[in-house]
Amino acid sequence: MKLCIALDLPSAEENLALAESLKEYNIWMKIGFRAYIRDGKPFIKSLKKINPNFKLFLDLKLYDIPNTMADAAEEIAKLGIEMFNIHASAGEVAMRTVMDRLSTYKKRPLVLAVTALTSFDEKNFSSIYGKSIDEKAQEFAKMSYKNGLDGVVCSTFESQAIKTITSNNFLTLCPGIRPFGEDAGDQQRVANLELAKEQYVDFPVIGRPIYRDKNPKEKVEKILSIIEQ
């Protein structure tokens, strides 16, 4: 299991200060829409300058026609990040086109597919996808595996089932983790670290429980001690 911290603070300065305070750990960091749109490539460079061994996950959830997605994937591959994601609902052709295009890169980033956004409830989800979240998430995971992606973004509660129907090596990245039962905030289905371990989650994504803690470094150490057990 590898800790991935969501860099969701309101400014580049605050995100970089957090990264600076954690520079001794070779952890993963998630760069989302807000940070990337605002701070762009220089932000990636700054993070790598703080610790070249930080691993970066660019969470831009690509969704477009296959060729446009592959063009974007190629530009992302040039950024020097280690992982990014697309929407599984973009479909099989998009998945294959992205993976084919990236196959020309000697060291390509890992590619994950978003199965179901956690903001959906069952009713709204099925009005769009025509199936339950569980069923569709598994279908999307199978599709992603078959088309050569490295893993999926899913909820902790789906992680083990997804590995069972794909492969133990197929990665699961799961937001909504409250390591020690912290406040859920706006997350609906939260899980603690123990459950994430039981569910074989590869990347627990943790934001507020770390950056809102009065001592983020101590919190990270505590999390790592459990992850590494």
DSSP 66: H
Among 131, 197, 208, 222, binds ligand C5P (CB under 6 A): 208
Binding of residue 206 to ligand C5P (CB under 6 A): yes
Nearest CB to ligand C5P, comparing residues 191 and 206: 206
* Cβ closest to ligand C5P, residue 6 vs residue 223: 6
Using CB under 6 A as the binding rule, whether residue 39 contacts ligand C5P is answered as no
Q: For 176, left (φ over 0), alpha (ψ -120 to 50), or beta?
A: left
Residues in region 106-165 near ligand C5P by CB under 6 A:
117-118, 153
Give the angle subtended at the CA of 222 by the CAs of 218 and 225, to the nearest 5°.
135
Beta strands in 149-221 (DSSP E): 151-153, 171-174, 203-206
Residue tagged active-site, from 2, 23, 48, 61: 61
Stretch that binds ligand C5P, among 18-26, 121-129, 144-152, 201-209 (CB under 6 A): 201-209
Answer yes or no: are the C-beta atoms of 209 and 196 closer than 8 Å: no
Among candidate residues 53, 14, 18, 15, the one with its CA nearest the CA of residue 31: 15
Nearer to ligand C5P, 10 or 185 (CB): 185
The answer for residues whose C-beta is within 8 angstroms of residue 17's C-beta and 6 or more apart is none
The answer to whether 2 is a known catalytic residue is no
* Binding positions for ligand C5P, rule: CB under 6 A: 6, 8, 32, 117-118, 153, 175-176, 185, 187, 205-209
